[in-house]
Structure formats: C-alpha cells, structure tokens
Structure 1
Amino acid sequence: MSDATDDPQPHDEGLTLSEPLSRAIGERYLTYALSTIMHRALPDARDGLKPVHRRILFAMRELKLAPTGGFRKSAKISGDVMGNYHPHGDAAIYDAMARLAQPFAMRYPLVDGQGNYGNIDGDGPAASRYTEARLTRAAEMLMEGLAENAVDFRPNYDGTLEEPVVLPAAFPNLLANGASGIAVGMATNVPPHNLDELIAGCQAMIDNPAITDDELVRHIPGPDFPTGGVLVEPPENILEAYRTGRGAFRLRARWHQEDLGRGTWQIVVTEIPYQVQKSKLIERLAELIQTRKVPALADVRDESAEDVRIILEPRARTVEPEMLMGMLFRNSDLEIRFSLNMNVLIDGRVPKVCALSEVLRAFLDHRREVLVRRARHRVEKIDARLEVLAGYIIAFLNLDRVIQIIRTEDDPKAVMLAEDWGGGVFLTEPQVEAILNMRLRSLRKLEEMELRREHETLTAERADLVALLEDEGRQWARISAELAEVRRLFGKEAPGGARRTGFAEAGTVEEVPIEAMIEREPITVICSRMGWVRAMKGHQPLDAEVKFKDGDGPGFAIHAETTDRILLIGSNGRVYTLLGANLPGGRGMGEPVRLMVDLPNEAAITGLVVVRPGQKFLMASSEGDGFIAPAEDLVAQTKAGKQVLNLRGGARTAVCRPVAGDHVAVVGENRKMLVFALEELPEMARGKGVRLQKYKDGGLSDAQTFTLAEGLSWKDPAGRTRTERDLTEWLGKRAGTGRMAPRGFPRDNRFTS
C-alpha cells in the first residue's frame, strides 16, 4: 500500500482497486450507517413508520386483507413481505407484524390479529403458522390514496415490483403510536399519544401556523399510553421536553385501596406502566418481600384475567397505603421513567431531533402534498373521462354512421379518425378506442341526457379541484375537514378513543423513611461468634441461654426494636447497617449476616450497636488511634457498608462504643490504663483518628467513656461490678503510656466481658 495515493488506482485491467485503508473503511462504514439510519432504525416523520412496518402494511393491502374481509395466515403474510419487499429474516418480519397487532404495545393497532399474539406478561406470540391477521381501519386510513398517485413509488429490492416510499397517512401516526429504535450513533424513542388531542393540535396549527409550544401543549398535554397509568411529571418538564425533543416522563401504575372489612384492606393495581412486563414486575415485588427491602409489604398476588389486577397485602393495618406505594414506586417498576427522544427522518432523508411542533408540521406538510397530488390525479382522470364522454355524445348523435363503419370497413378505427362528424368535429384516438371497445348491449345506454348529466357533474368537480389546487386556504380547510373525519372515527367519543393515561402530582410520599412503615415491636438481636444473626421477639434477658450451631457460640446480644437501624462493625474498619425488621426470626439458628451485607470472610465482627438520634460513638483501632463519630455518619445505604476507620497494615477495629460521660478510659494489651478528658478527641465522620495511648509493644485492648465524678466500673472475674472512684493515678493527657491497671481488673484487659 506504500505506493497508494489518495485516488484509487486501477490494477490488473481494472479488476482490483487499491486505496487507503482509512478511506475504504470510512466509506463502507458510512454506507452501512446511512442504511441503518434510513432503512431500519429511524421512523419517517410523515407516516411514523419504519420500512419493515410500511412493507408489511403494503403487502397486506396487496393481499386484499381489508378490515371487513377475511384473515390470512401470518406465515403467508410474512412470506410475501420477505419475498416481495423486505429481503430479511421472516422471524424479524413476523415479530414486527405481531407488535403492530398488540393492543398493549400500540395505542391504535394497525394489524387485527387472530390467535395468540403475546400478552402483557411478556410471553411472545405463537408461531406464524398458527396465527392469522388482517388490516385495521387505522391502517387502511394510513394507506388511503395509494391508488391515486398520492406518494412516490420506487422499485423493490430486485426491481420486479414497486413499493411506496412513504404512506399517505391520514393521521399523525408517529405520535399516535410512538416509535423506538437504535441506529448508528443515534437512537429514537417517541411515546404514544391520544389521537383526539393530536388532531386538535393539528387543527390549531392549521388555524395558526405560528402557534407557540405553550399553546400546543394545551391541546396535547402529554403521552397517552395504551396500558394507561398515571403521569406524575410536572407540566413545565413536559413542556420543555416537547420544546426540545428530548426529556423523560415519570409514569406510575394506577392503584386504589380496597376495603376488606374489620379495618383490613389491600391495594389493587389495575394499570401498570408502558412496556413493563407484568410477570417480571411480580417477580420484583416478590423479591422485595423476600429481601425485606419494603418491610410493610407482606404478600403479592396476580389475579389478572382480561384486565390487570395485582393484589398487594400490607404487613400491618396501621401502614399508610400512600407510604407503602411510595416505597414500591421507588424500588420497583411500578414507576418508570419513559425517555423522549424525537429523533426522526425529515422527508425520509435527514435525521433530526424535532420538537413537537416540528413533527406536526412535517405531517401537515405531507398531508398537503398528498392532497395536491390526489387532486391532480383526479383532474387527470376527469379530463380523460370527459374526453371519452364527448366521444360518446358524438357517437350517439351519429349512431347509424358509427354502426355502418364498424360493419363495412376493414379498418374502422382509421375511418372513424378521418371522418368529419359535422362542423369540422373529429374524434380523437382515445375516443375512437372507447367507442370501438363498447359492447353491443351498451349501445342502449347511450342516452344523450345521461351522458350530458355525467359530463356536467365531472366538469363541476373538475372546476372545484382546480380551485382547490389554486387556493392554499382551501387546501388547509380540506385537510382540517379530513382530520375532523378521522377524529370522528378514532376520537374520544369513539370506542377506545378516550384518554387512558391520567395526570397527577408525584407528591412527597417517596421521601417517607422506611422506619415509618414498620410496626414497632421490641426484639432481641443475637449474633453468634461465626456471624449467624437472628431477632427474637420481645426483650429477652441478654444472658439467657441460646442454642447455636455446632462449633459456634455467643457473640453479641442487644435489645432493639423492629424500626431500629443496627450497626454491625467489621474488623476491616467498615460499618454495615441492618434494619431490625429485616432480620430473620428467632425460631431457628438465624441466617449468615454475610448474606445480608458484603462483609468479607476474613473480616470479623467486632461490635453490634443500635443507632439512636443524636448519639455519638467512640471509634478506635488496635493501633491505639481513634475519634468520636456521630451515629448519622456511620449509617450505610448499601450492602457494601461505609468505611469509617482508615487502617494500616494488620490493624483492625478494636472499639465502637456509645459515648456517655466526660472522660475516656483506655487500656492496652500491656495492661496499662490511661484516663483523659473526652474533649481531647476530635469529632469526624471518617479517618485514622488521633493517638489515644502510646505502646512499646502490642496495641489497644479496650476503651470506653464514663463520667469521672461517678468513677470507672468494670466486672471482676467473679462477675461482680467494681468501681474505682479515685482515678488520680491514671489521669493524664491523651497519647500517654498510662499506668498498670487497678488491682482486680479483668485478665482479658476489657471493661466488659
């Protein structure tokens, strides 16, 4: 390639071309990208269809599958589409056709399906050999005018047939049914809308071409999804999304509270968000119950038949329904964000992110072009018919001569063309052809009055069409009238035409703390030495005998409540958060805490404490460094926990104790104890801390806070509580070495065993 120039050079008699690799790849990838953008992924703003959908509808029209006619096997339809217009896989064609028939996917289905075409649970359609289909009235209106030169046609992929470049589209299908697709370097996602509102917006735009986005959104307030739901997006956000062509809509399930009597109730979900599979939604809700992420939810059942009916049972009747739903909206697909990205093809060629007004303008301009082309086509047909009628009238007035020529002349056509029919009137070739092609029995129909009446009617129609073509105001009035007819057929008064998606304010329900949704009950939390945790009902004695697994033993036991957040302190310096209501019951041996939080296997549990508002904790490492940490800064929001103590080398977390008092007592592994003022410790959320006590060998064994005036207490080996009130010998400044612990201090060098 070293001798290659910027221009391709022919070699080997033109059979081989040499060109730079960058150019070769660039040109070919650009060709592929353009093909994907224009012929696969992005819809046309005029009819709202991609080529595969357009070809499916056109092929069904060619098969004469009218809404009032019979059904045909889907395999036959997809086979015709693949063989005649769309040379791709029949599975892809059938999937696209099936979606056009799904009432939960299309706001206004374009295919009338018979058989199993899938369901809202996410099940796919049956094989194409089992299902049948025909066009709907909406699809028929999209193609109205194809036989009247309303749009351009182009050769199909092998040049044997012709297909429409775009459909005439009697209504704004792009916005009515929505579209989605991923192209090369761009994507599109347009939600469905209500056709009654769209037509109102189109008519407002016809009346006022300079209409503002604010005025347009009064007619089209937001999407209208086939599965209903409730839009909780603020109006100003919807307006901004329609103005820019990009944005998102928060869509929630529709629900209501059902009274079961005696103070009990349940929640019934009747509509779920668009494109959410009901089966996966139920699985997610069941997972929330199992993992206890939403403790107030006790059970979920699917009682759906034709309509959606999902039952949500609360754990306690005291739970507020709005609070429960707020948590479910946050943690499941009962609420989704539907993205808006109106990236569409303008005039079938240029991809552009359009505002709502631009999309409607593209549709209306297309409708005007369709109207003009159909009018011109009709004028041409009328002119041809008027010419034939003039010939019929001449033949009627000279019927005997016409019959004589036909009976006696070898070439009647030439004779009739040369004949003067009176006053220098001659017949044209189309007139002669029409006369000669008449059947004998049709001669009796040649009544002058009938011919002249048809001639007058067509002449008046032609004059009306010519006036229409010459007056833009008349054209827009005609388009508005046609849209009014569509509105009559599919508007809010028609079956299924009323708006399905409602509007509401999101409110602040989702910000309710999870503790507010849990029934408050006392529990005793027990964690074994190997990390098996359980919660026994009520406040049991902390020294009560409890069974453990073989080889395991007691670790920690604390009193708490189901609404409490419990901090589990790992030896790795991280603090993990458990919710009392989420802990397993006390009937068995519990569950491994490592299934609930991401505590590494090599890290031990060094503490278990309950969070209280305004509480502070003394955090210290085995190296003798520590600080005071507010409880709120220790609470973690994820299973990974929160790093609080920064540790080096083989250091580990040694102490996490609630702060109570004005002094700190520290004892090292060398049995030396130091007492200093609590105010000498800094308050921080994370870090290494400051030196508590200095050691030559070993490290920190234990530390606790206390009130100096009340003395320092500990338990002796016999279990008796001893209090040392005169601590003058051990008082000092932070980071000192301290003095040997008092006589009778526990041999394990800990204040509490």
Structure 2
Amino acid sequence: MGQIFEPPGGDGIESVELKSALEERYFAYALSTITQRALPDARDGLKPVHRRILYGMRLLRLDPNTAHKKCAKIVGDVMGDFHPHGDQAIYDALVRLSQDFAQRYPLVDGQGNFGNIDGDGPAAYRYTEARLTEVARLLLDGIDEDTVDFRPSYNGEKEEPVVLPAAFPNLLANGSQGIAVGMATSIPPHNAAELCDAALYLIGHREATSEQLVETFVQGPDFPTGGILVDSRASIVEAYRTGRGAFRVRARWAKEDLGRGTWTIVVTEIPYGVPKGRLIEKLAELLQEKKLPLLADVRDESAEDVRIVLEPRSRSVDPVILMESLFRLSELESRVSLNMNVLVGGQVPRVIGLAEALREWLDHRRTVLQRRSRYRLGQIERRLEILGGLLIVYLDLDEVIRIIREEDEAKPALMARFSLTEIQANAILDTRLRALRKLEEMELKREFTDLTAEKEGIESLLGSDALQWKTITGQIRQVKKTFGPETKIGRRRTTLENPPDTAGIDLTAALVEREPITVIVSAKGWIRALKGHVADLSGIAFKGDDSLKIAFPSETTAKVLVLASNGKVYTLDASKLPGGRGFGDPIRLMVDLDDGTEIVAALPYQPEGKLLIAGSDGRGFLAPADALVANTRKGKSILGLDGSATATVLVPANGDHVAVCNSDRLLLVFPASELPELSRGKGMRLQRCRTASLTDACVFAMAEGLPWRETGGVSRLANAGVLERWVGHRADVGALMTRSFPKFERFGK
C-alpha cells in the first residue's frame, strides 16, 4: 500500500503515495460533508443550502408582504450565485422549507402544489411560486447592518453570509436531519414559545441545567403533525441532558359511536415523518395477511385534515387492545431519534444538550446586537460629522455663498475658513438652495440632538452587559408574543400522555385470530397443529416409522410447553406451529434442543396454573406454570437431574392427590400437600423406585377418582374405594397394580 511506483517517464507527472493521497482526499470529502452539507449551525439552525435559499430570496425582495415569484427564478438565482449543485436538490430543500407538515414553523410561503402528507411530490418548479415567511424575516433581520460575517461565493463574484442573524430559535424550533461521514444529526421540532421561556430563564440563570429547563419550560418535542408523546418524564429529561435519545410518538385517536352499540376508531393525527399513504398501505397489507384479527376494515376519509377510519371486527372488541395491537405492528407508533450533533461556532461538530444549544443561540444574539449597535454607531457618527459642518455653515451663510461664488476651489477654501473636514465640505457643497431656509436649520439642530442622545444610548449599551441582555430579553419576548400559545401557529400540537396500562392484557393473543386446534407431537419429535378439536386421531399419517406420542386440544392464541429429557422446558407459540396438511416440522428447528435429548412431554400453558414435573429417578416437585415459560429459544432449565436420570413427566397439577407408577408396575397414591412447590431444582422423592424408573404420574381429585387408560385405549376411572390399598405417603414404594389395573397403559382420560 505504501510503495511508490515510478511512472514510465514524462514531464509534469508527479509520484504520490497512494495511502496518503487517499487519506488526504477522503479527509477533505468528509470535512466538506460535515461542515457544508449535513450538520446545521448551532446559531441559526440552518445548513448552507437553506441559508443560501433564504438569502437568495432576500436579494429577490421576496418579503412576507410582497408578491410570490416563480420557484424556477429562485432556484436559478441560488444555483447561479451561491449553491453550485443540482437544481432539483435546491428545489427539494426549498419545498421542505414550505411544507407545514414537515416544518413546525415554515420558512417559505409556497403557492401551488408543494406536496402533501400522503407522500406525493411537489409540482415542477416552473409551476410553483414562493416568498419568505415572518419566521424567515426574523432569521434575516439586520443582515444588511454588519451583524454577521460574509464570505465570497463559490465563483468569487458575490458574497454570502456565513450565518444568519437568527432572531428566532430555529435550531430547536424547526429541528434538523442529516447524515454526514461517521456522524449524523437528528433534532425534532419544538414549541417556539417554550424555547423563548427557557432562553429568558437562561439569561437570568446562566448556569441552569438542561434538567431544570425540561422540568419547567420545554415539555418535549412539538411536531407539526401533532401526535401523542408516550415516553416517561425521566427518559425525556435524560435525552435532553445528553443530547442523545429517542421519543415514542403515537397517533391521536378517538372512539366514534355510530349508534346501536356499533363504533369506529378515527385517527386524526399521525406520527411525524410518516407518509399517510404508506401508513394506509401497510395497514391494508396487515389486514390482508390476517395479522390484525380485531380489525375489519381501514378507510382514508381525509380531506385537508387527517381522518383515518378503523372499523373493528365486532362491537365486542376492546378499542384499547385494538389500538395497542396496531401500535405494535404499524407506523401508528414511531420512534423519533434525538441526536443534537451540530456545528458549534459554525466549525466544530459536537453533541450538545438543550441548555448548551440555547446558550449558543443567546451568545449569537448578543454578538449580533453588539455588531448591529456598532454599525449604527458608525452611521450616527458620520451623520453627526455632517450635521456639525452644516450647523457651522448656517451661522455665516453669506460667507459660504461668497466663497462658493468667488473662489476657484471652493472646497479647500471652505475647509480652511470654517475648519471643516472633507466630508463636511462635500455635504455643504451638495446642499440645495431650498434647504437654506430657517426651518431647515431647526430640523438639523433637532436631528443633531436626537442622534447625540441615541449615540450616548448605544455607547451605554455597548459598555454594559446588563443592558445588552435586557435588550435581548425584550427581543425574545416579542418573538414569544408573535408565536405564543394563544396564536394559531404557536399553540402546542403534540401532547404528553401516559400510555394505557396493558400489563394485564395478553397483546400477543390479541394479534392472532383465535381458532381451535389440535396439537400433534410424534414419537420422533415432529409437531403440527390440526384445525379444530379432532377427537378421532386414527387416520393421522406420520413420516416413515414415526408414530403418535402426544395429542391435546388447544387454541391458536395459546402457548405450548415442551419438556425435554434433560429437564429443560421450552415454549412454543401455537399460532406459529405448522399446519396439519403435512407431517409438521421437527421441534428441534424451533428451539435450541441439546444434542442427545428428546421430547418427553408437551401440554398447553395455563396462566397461573400449577404443573407436576418429575424425572426417571422418582424425584419431582410442583411448579407454577408461569415460572416455566421461556421467552427465548434456549428454554429454561427447570428439573435438576443426577447421573443417567432423565425427565419423564410434565402434567397439570389440578387435584388433591398424586398418583405415580414405575417400570416395575408399582403404584403409589399420596396427598399432593406432601409435595413442595418450587420454580426449579431437583425436587423431592415421589416414589422409592430402587432399580426401576418412574414412568408416569397424575394429579387428581380423590372425590372424582383416578382416570387411566387401558392398552386398547379404553378410558377407566378408579374411585377412592379401589385406590385404598395404594394410598400411602410420599417416597413409599407402593404396591403392584396387577389386580385392579390389569391392562394399564397410562394415567389420564
């Protein structure tokens, strides 16, 4: 990489190390992208393209009270004078500045088709017209009074502002988005009145923190499209403190009664940055794919305002659950990131918090005030110099007229006679005869007095920090009055609310259409779900020499608990099980099953229920079903096993007695109260098995009897009288079951 290759001779050819050349060129490209394209200036909140558009429109005299001009003219002038890039890129930036659904406080007043919230693009720039808004006028206010630095444009023919005076907190009010090299920025819009309040507090409390400003003044983002912010106060404060974070924004909706118990949901505001057309299309796709069982139809009835109508599947549907399912699956809820990465001082990219962002703006406003005052002071001093000369002349007009009439060089003569400067002499010579009347002299004296007083005021202002901040306070209060909460544009649109409490609601079940199924598990660990509750399973086919092992009725909204021979319990969603047309799929593909293990039991999960779990060594315990549910493919290790023992039993624990049997056909029945309840562990001995192994267990109600099945599949029931000889205590050996259970196959119906 670092080797230099000599070219085959020739004049004007320079050998350059490839590594250093690439580093140098990529560094220049990265720096250009960061400072000249992607990141906004912390002072005016603008990128170069936006700044050039606004300044170009200012030169075209497109003030808020003037007529609109064609966007083609604006784009052409900006491209030709300041921004040597594609015309479409400039027009796209201009369009976004005018969209009231993209900009909280639009900087451009557009006339014509500038796109819409559906995601449709604008008309071509030859059809649309634009002018500046009042917000843009505030950003440009005083730009002709030496308030900011200028630099030569790309061709050196004109000059462009490095930054705008920015009498409006544009960085946070309108936000910014951008992707640079190795960094990005994402600043959501905010409420201008709240920003002004926070800035006024900062003026009086310079060391105030972002936490204090958020707690008292800035509630959070205020999006042009409204919506509801559902983040906790703590997370919002932390985001503004660090300058990094994200906000969850939900659509605003309301239940609309149609009479006779029927109703619909009407969405009136959607999250910021989400095209309405794409949102409707996504909802329609989810509906078609049957992923929204609670929703029957979606309609877009929007005109100028957003109105999306959601029709429930039935009148018994809970609207909160319906909306929560939609928030999970669609862009009716979106995340808006916060990454306040800006150019501090117009040069250094840095992530800053809320307080520092406002301090950057306030410091800039102070610099603008000082420069503007010095500029005005210079104008006053020049005018006072001229007025001083004119007033001297008025004391002896006859002598002035004589000098002008008789002297060949009137200017030097006047300067010598009255001790005037060249500027004063020129002003006298340029004075018209009609201005020599007595009334004019009085006007000059009044003007001289007024300007002298103004000069003293400006000098006092420049010499006092307190007066400067007092002036800035007055300016900010005027901005707040213009964009206050009582105005249409200043009223907060995004509200902060706590989301509904859905802790006790199974939203996963709500996202699946509830249908009866029969779960089939084969001896080799293949699983499938047949539609409906199938009683006769004799006609079910299996792959090769595989056969039926477990079958039980369930529903698509349920969960299935699966016990492996190593004591781990896995959780499967019934809705994701393969259908019954084929042979199903191996459970091993759905969970991370350890090598050498096999499936020994499966049953539907019952919330708040209890289960009996046991191993071949005769140890086991009662476990709450909720403790067995695993949220990952790895499952949960529930039953501890020693040596060669394996897990064999996982059954519901509904009853007051436990029946266990082993491979020696010894049966033992004992009270369930003798068993401990654990979440995991080895448990306690259920039956003394000696050389045998535990094969089956059942928890039942003695009053109802013990259900069991013969080898032929016939269901039997053993009552308390029959079971009397087998009743004992936990850890007993039990008794042979040959006489009363001659053809015993397993417990259960």
Q: Work out whether residues 108 and 138 of structure 1, in 8 Å CA contact, stay in contact via their aligned partners in 2.
A: yes
Cα RMSD (Å): 5.5
**Is 1:662 paired with 2:652?**
no
Per the alignment, in what secondary structure is the counterpart of residue 41 of structure 2?
A: coil
Structure 1 pair 308/515, CA: closer, same or farther in 2 (3 Å)?
closer
Q: How many positions carry a matched residue from both structures?
A: 712
- 2:658 counterpart letter in structure 1: D
Aligned mates of 2:560, 2:149 — CA distance in 1: 71
Task: Give the alignment of 1:474-485 within 5 angstroms.
Answer: 474-485=467-478
Cα contact 1:179–1:191 (8 A) shared by 2:
yes
Q: Structure 1: how far apart are the matches of 2:234 and 2:706? A: 64
Match of 1:108 in 2: 105
SS in 1 for 2:369: helix
Taking the aligned partners of 1:292 and 1:125, their CA distance within structure 2 comes to 35
Q: 2:382 and 2:588 mapped to 1: Cα distance?
A: 84
Structure 2 residue corresponding to 1:79, chosen from 76, 79, 84: 76
Does structure 1 retain, via aligned residues, the 8 Å contact 2:190–2:222? yes
CA distance in 2, matches of 1:633, 1:400: 111
Are the aligned partners of 2:293 and 2:512 in contact in 1 as well (CA < 8 Å)?
A: no
Over 3 Å counting, the alpha-carbon distance change for 1:659 and 1:482 in structure 2 is closer
- Report the Cα distance in structure 1 between the residues aligned to 2:627 and 2:747, rounded to whole angstroms: 26
**C-alpha contact 1:394 1:421 (8 A) present in aligned 2:** no
Cα offsets for 1:592-645 (capped at 9, x unmatched):
987999759x99998563535323265899xx999987533554557x695779
The one of 164, 167, 173 aligned to 2:164: 167
How far did residue 60 of structure 1 move? 1.6
Match of 1:609 among 600, 604, 611: 604
Post-superposition offset of 1:378: 1.8
Q: Indicate conservation of the 8 Å contact 2:108/2:136, yes or no.
A: yes
Contact 1:245–1:341 (CA under 8 A) maintained in structure 2: yes
Question: Does the residue aligned with 2:65 lie in a helix, a strand or coil?
Answer: coil
1:62 aligns with 2:59: yes
How far the C-alpha of 1:504 sits from its partner, in A, is 2.5
Task: Check conservation: 1:576, 1:642, Cα contact below 8 A.
Answer: yes
Q: Which amino acid aligns with 1:300?
A: V
Quick check: 1:428 aligned with 2:430? no
Partner letter of residue 514 of structure 1?
D
Match of 2:709 among 704, 714, 733: 714
Distance 1:400 1:3, change over 3 A: same
* 1:672-751 alignment, distance < 5 Å: 705=698, 713-717=708-712, 719=714, 721=716, 745=743
Counterpart AA for 1:242 = Y
Query: How far apart in 2 are the matches of 1:197 and 1:320?
Result: 37
Q: 1: distance between equivalents of 2:301 and 2:582?
A: 33
Distance 2:78 2:415 in 1: 53
Which residue, out of 500, 503, 515, partners 2:496? 503
Which residue number in structure 2 is paired with residue 7 of structure 1? none
TM-score when normalising by structure 2: 0.76
Matched with 2:413 is 419
SS in structure 1 at match of 2:219 = coil
Alignment of 1:583-602 (within 5 A): 599=590
Q: Residue 649 of structure 1 aligns with which residue?
A: none
Aligned-partner Cα distance in 2 for 1:250–1:97: 28
What percentage of aligned pairs have identical amino acids?
A: 43
Q: Deviations over 1:482-521 (max 9, x none)?
A: 2232223222233311111222234x51323227986999
The answer as to whether partners of 1:711 and 1:727 remain within 8 angstroms in 2 is: no
CA separation in 2, counterparts of 1:523 and 1:297?
A: 16
8 A Cα contact 1:259 1:266, kept in partner: yes
Q: Distance in 2 between matches of 1:444 and 1:178?
A: 57
Structure 2 partner of 1:444: 434
Query: 1: distance between equivalents of 2:348 and 2:389?
Result: 49
Equivalences for residues 479-628 of structure 1 within 5 A: 479-506=472-499, 509-514=501-506, 524-526=516-518, 533=529, 536=532, 542-543=535-536, 558-560=552-554, 565-567=558-560, 575-578=570-573, 599=590, 609=604, 611=606, 613-616=608-611
- Alignment correspondent of 1:632: 626
Change (3 A) 1:606 1:207: closer
Choose the corresponding residue for 1:153, options 143, 150, 153.
150
Does structure 2 retain, via aligned residues, the 8 Å contact 1:393–1:448?
A: no
The reply to whether residue 206 of structure 1 matches residue 203 of structure 2 is yes
In the alignment, the residues of structure 2 paired with residue 673 and residue 89 of structure 1 have an alpha-carbon distance, to the nearest angstrom, of 87
Q: Deviation digits for residues 637-677 of structure 1, max 9, x if unmatched?
A: 57x6957799xxxxx9998654566344577xxxx967689
Measure how far apart 1:62 and its partner are: 1.8
Alignment partner of 2:339 out of 338, 341, 349: 341
Separation (CA, whole Å) in 2 of partners of 1:658 and 1:306: 58
Distance verdict in 2 for CA 1:448–1:120, change over 3 Å: same
2:258 to 228, 249, 260: 260
Pairwise CA distance, 1:270? 1.8
Please, which runs of 5 or more residues in structure 1 have no aligned partner? 5-10, 647-651, 695-699
Residue 179 (1) aligns with residue 176 (2): yes
C-alpha distance in 2, partners of 1:708/1:421?
125
Moved more, 142-151 or 317-326: 317-326
Counterpart residue type for residue 243 of structure 2: G
**Matched residue SS, 1:510:** coil
Aligned partner of residue 87 in structure 1, secondary structure: coil
Change (3 A) 1:259 1:111: same
Query: Where does residue 370 of structure 1 map in the other structure?
Result: 368
Letter in 1 for 2:239: A
Cα gap change, 1:200 to 1:465, in 2 (>3 Å): farther
Change (3 A) 1:595 1:43: farther
Which SS does the other structure have where 1:40 is aligned?
Answer: helix
Matched residue, 1:223: 221
Q: Distance in 2 between matches of 1:213 and 1:194?
A: 16
1:241 alignment partner in structure 2: 239
The 2-side partners of 1:342 and 1:329 are apart by 27
Q: 1:64 to 1:527 in 2, by over 3 A?
A: same
* Secondary structure class of the residue paired with 2:221: coil
* Counterpart check, 1:137 vs 2:147: no
Q: Which amino acid aligns with 1:173?
A: N
**2 CA distance for matches of 1:103 and 1:591?**
55
Q: Cα 1:685–1:75, aligned 2, differ >3 Å: closer, same or farther?
A: farther
The equivalent of 2:643 in structure 1 is: none
Match of 1:36 among 33, 36, 60: 33
Q: 2 CA distance for matches of 1:566 and 1:297?
A: 23
Decide whether aligned partners of structure 1 residues 42 and 594 sit closer, same or farther in structure 2, where only a CA change above 3 A counts: farther
- Residue 360 of structure 1 pairs with residue 358 of structure 2: yes
Name the CA shift for 1:430/1:24 in 2 (closer, same or farther; >3 Å): farther
Distance 1:593 1:118 in 2: 51
Q: Distance in 1 between matches of 2:67 and 2:189?
A: 29
- Structure 1 residues 278 and 643: alpha-carbon distance in aligned structure 2, compared to 1, 3 A threshold: farther
- What letter corresponds to residue 413 of structure 2 in structure 1? E
Helix, strand or coil at the partner of 1:146? coil
Structure 1 722/707 Cα, relative in aligned 2: closer, same or farther at 3 Å? closer
Shift of 1:561: 6.4
Instruction: Quote the Cα distance in structure 2 between the aligned partners of 1:130 and 1:570.
Output: 70
Q: Which sits farther off after the overlay, 254-263 or 310-319?
A: 310-319
User: What amino acid does structure 1 have at the position aligned with 2:265?
Assistant: I
Q: Give yes or no for contact 1:55–1:85 (8 Å, CA) kept in 2.
A: yes
The superposition leaves residues 424-449 of structure 1 with CA deviations (integer Å, 9 ceiling, x where unpaired) of 3446257427845x7xxx54345443
Distance in 1 of aligned mates of 2:609 and 2:240: 47
| Partners of 1:575 and 1:662 in 2: CA distance | 24
Contact 1:327-1:510 at 8 Å conserved across structures = no
**Counterpart secondary structure, 1:304:** coil
Q: Secondary structure at the match of 1:147?
A: coil
Q: CA separation in 2, counterparts of 1:734 and 1:57? A: 91
SS at match of 2:490: coil
**Post-superposition CA distance 1:169-202 (Å, at most 9, x none):** 1121112111232333433322222112222222
Q: Aligned-pair distance for 1:34?
A: 3.1
